[in-house]
Structure 1
Amino acid sequence: MRILLVLAHPLEDSFAASVAGLARETLEASGHTVDLLDLYREGFDPRLTIAERGSYFDENYDAAAVSGWIARLEAADGLMLVFPQWWFNFPAILKGFFDRVFAPGTAFDHDPAGGRIIPRLGNIRLFWALTTTGSPWWVVHLYMGNPVRRLLKRGIAGFCAKGLDFRMISLHDMDRASAAKRKRHLERVRALVSRI
């Protein structure tokens, strides 16, 4: 399987970078091909351009500025996202990746009758998120309703692909996580990713 592994963290020595490195190593050891897309190191600009927004509902959406990243998404069989949750949401650079790369004509088509969008990412069979939160589990799930999981599963994955393997693996309370807890999380990630 060809996996597009998207990392969204500004620090090269972050825990997210460690998770991405471990995921890549584990996937490659299992025979998968990994395309690491490090949004910060590649200089990805999350801002939707005037041309992109202006042509959003046109028949010929202008995706020229992100065509290289779109080609990598279209070449993948699976998508694995690695990111921290900030303010119960995606880092801005990852939100911009969705806004610009999960574009009309690539991730979905507009329904000509004005109904639900039509999924186009039939090539994506696996959609995983490896993430951390600064808040404890009970705050994320009970108080906030786990918004990132809902957005990913029901929104982005649900509207752009069908019948895929969706999973979100989270380390909660990251701000207070001991070295032992972080190590256990990495072991859990390795075990789960090795089953792909």
Structure 2
Amino acid sequence: MHVLLVLAHPLPESFAHSVARTVRERLEGQGHSVDLLDLYAEDFDPRLTEKERHGYFDDPYDTYAVGDLVARLQKAEALVLVFPQWWFNLPAVLKGFFDRVFAPGVAFRHDKAGGKIIPLLTNIRHFWAFTTTGSPWWVVKFYMGDPVRRQLRRGIAIFCNKNVDFRMLALHDMDRATDEKRRRHLERVEAALQKFR
């Protein structure tokens, strides 16, 4: 299977980079091909341009400015995201990736009969996310309602492919995580990826 692995963290020494390395090594060890898209290293501009917004309902939508990323997404059979949660949300660079690359004609098309969107990313069989939060799990889940999980699963993944396999694994309370806790989390990541088929 061909996997697009999207990493969204500015620090090369970050735990997110460790998770991404673990994901890549495990998937390649299982015989999958992995295309690493490090949004910061590739200097991705997350800002939706005026031209892109004006043309949002054009048919066809002009994806020229992000054409290389669109091609990489359309070539993939699985999408794996690695990112921290900041302010109970996606990093801006990852939000911009969805805004600009998950565009009409790529991830979905508009139903001209009435506002629905029709999924187009049927090439993506798996949509997985590996993330960290600075808050304890109960704050994320009960106080905030797990907004990132809801956004990715209900607001992006199933709108692009109704039958996609969505999973998310988070390390909570990251700011106080010991080396041992981080090591155990990497083991959880590896164990989860054994089910990746």
Q: If the length of structure 2 is used for normalisation, what is the TM-score?
A: 0.98
Report the equivalent of 2:51: 51
Distance (Å, rounded) in 2 between the aligned partners of 1:15 and 1:171: 10
Q: Answer yes or no: is 1:86 the counterpart of 2:83.
A: no
Distance (Å, rounded) in 2 between the aligned partners of 1:24 and 1:34: 6
AA at the equivalent of 1:21: R
Runs of 4+ aligned residues of structure 1 deviating over 2 Å after TM superposition are: none
Q: Answer yes or no: is 1:110 the counterpart of 2:127.
A: no
Q: Answer yes or no: is 1:195 the counterpart of 2:173.
A: no
Report the equivalent of 1:153: 153
Distance (Å, rounded) in 1 between the aligned partners of 2:164 and 2:102: 16
Q: Please show how residues 61-76 of structure 1 align to structure 2 within 5 Å.
A: 61-76=61-76
Q: Please show how residues 130-149 of structure 1 align to structure 2 within 5 Å.
A: 130-149=130-149
Provide, for residues 60-86 of structure 1, a one-character-per-residue CA deviation record: whole Å limited to 9, x for no partner. 211110000000000000000000000
AA at the equivalent of 2:147: P
Distance (Å, rounded) in 1 between the aligned partners of 2:160 and 2:76: 14
Distance (Å, rounded) in 2 between the aligned partners of 1:62 and 1:115: 20
Provide, for residues 96-149 of structure 1, a one-character-per-residue CA deviation record: whole Å limited to 9, x for no partner. 000000000000000101231100000000000000000000000000000000
Provide, for residues 142-186 of structure 1, a one-character-per-residue CA deviation record: whole Å limited to 9, x for no partner. 000000000000010011112111100000000011111000000
Distance (Å, rounded) in 2 between the aligned partners of 1:78 and 1:25: 16
**Secondary structure at 2:47 match in 1:** coil
Offset at residue 26 of structure 1 (A) = 0.1
**Secondary structure at 1:67 match in 2:** helix
Offset at residue 58 of structure 1 (A) = 1.1
Report the equivalent of 2:171: 171
AA at the equivalent of 2:148: V
Distance (Å, rounded) in 2 between the aligned partners of 1:19 and 1:194: 15
Report the equivalent of 1:17: 17
Distance (Å, rounded) in 1 between the aligned partners of 2:195 and 2:117: 32
What CA RMSD, in Å, does the superposition of the two structures yield over aligned residues? 0.6
Q: How many residues matched?
A: 196
Q: Please show how residues 29-44 of structure 1 align to structure 2 within 5 Å.
A: 29-44=29-44
Offset at residue 51 of structure 1 (A) = 1.3
Offset at residue 191 of structure 1 (A) = 1.1
